[in-house]
Amino acid sequence: MLKDYLKLHFIVLLWGFTAILGKLLTVPPVELVFWRTLLAATGLAVLLVARRMPWRVSGGQAARLLAVGALVAAHWITFFLAARLSSVSVCLAGLATLALWTSLLEPLLLWRRVRGYEVGLGLITMVGLYLVSQAELDQLLGLGVAVLSAGLSALFSVLNSKLIKTHPPLRLTFYEMLGACLSIALFFPIYSQYFTQGQGLQLAWRGYDWLWLLLLAGVCTVYAFSTSVELMKRISPFAVNLTINLEPVYGISMAAAIYWLHTKGLLNAPQFNGERMSTGFYIGTLLIVLSVLIHPLVARLMKDKEPDLEPAMPV
């Protein structure tokens, strides 16, 4: 069990590392997510064949899975865009509002009652978000895009909670990655004409982009997700979700460590010059993270039955 828990924390560490990879990559966010989903779909297809798992679904089910995949693409594009518009720390602070979004969307989409403790924790999150925004006024746009990305992720999680009941996780994720890739490919003509400022698509890899993309798609997506599925067979959903909530903590800590190494001349990483944050930012982020960590503990204490939601797609 100790080995399983250590492996779970390592996987969450990998998911927290995705924002740093997004900062290192030179490929624009839309093209970046296209490559990530294409490589991830290919890797998942190989896993399905290697494990001799059935992958065929009906036309109607395939359409639903591909449509949810388009939502995943929107989530990831806004996530990586937020990392470009602000610092990694601000981006992850905004993403930590996922639990707040989920508490708002679940009653609307799953027709369950509003829980009082979720409202209270949501208010704490809002206070934390206000402190972060006031402390980093020059990064408000990036923070806003990150909060939007968290909302898209929460919507994906709620919709996935229904789909996971009828599809094995690997097959489900394969179709969603395929849907994300296809939706971006269909969006390319509009994107290249109206959103690239005349530069067109920038699909070419430069420098170490090949390495960062392979890490992002192969290690942080295919390996991390397939391993997490195996761990969920032996670790309770409560423990898994509680650990996944540490993703912003790990990500912000890694970004701060990279910034420190850069300032000491031990690492050349000018992309992380903006990682020095004010005290208000850390107080606000602490409130957000505490509300996220407290949520499953209070839910268990209240003995309130939670829907069996799949964790949000790792970022």
Structure confidence at residue 18 (pLDDT): 93
Q: Does any domain span residue 182?
A: yes
Q: Does any domain span residue 314?
A: no
Rounded (5°) CA angle 128-288-134? 25
Nearest-angstrom CA–CA distance, 214 and 39: 8
Q: Does any domain span residue 308?
A: no
Q: Does any domain span residue 310?
A: no
**Along the chain (315 residues), what's the average pLDDT of each consecutive run of 10 residues?**
87 92 93 96 92 87 92 95 92 88 81 78 87 87 94 87 82 92 96 88 93 94 84 75 82 91 88 86 89 78 55 50
> Domain total for the chain?
1
* Both tokens assigned to 146: 């990150």
Task: Give Dmax over CA atoms of the chain in angstroms.
Answer: 57
Residue ranges with strand state E in the chain: none
Q: Does any domain span residue 309?
A: no
Q: Does any domain span residue 280?
A: yes
Nearest-angstrom CA–CA distance, 73 and 133: 26
Supply the range of the domain harboring residue 177. Answer: 2-301
Q: Does any domain span residue 307?
A: no
Structure confidence at residue 211 (pLDDT): 95
Structure confidence at residue 10 (pLDDT): 94
Structure confidence at residue 228 (pLDDT): 82
pTM above 0.85?
yes
Structure confidence at residue 310 (pLDDT): 47
Structure confidence at residue 215 (pLDDT): 94
Structure confidence at residue 227 (pLDDT): 85
For residue 50, what are the contacts with CB-CB under 8 A and spacing of at least 6?
none
- Measured on CA atoms in the order 107, 315, 50, 205, is the torsion positive or negative? positive
Whether the CB-CB separation of 38 and 156 falls below 8 Å is answered with no
Structure confidence at residue 315 (pLDDT): 58
Nearest-angstrom CA–CA distance, 77 and 106: 23
Nearest-angstrom CA–CA distance, 221 and 140: 28
Residue reference for tokens 């925004």: 133
Q: Does any domain span residue 313?
A: no
Structure confidence at residue 32 (pLDDT): 96
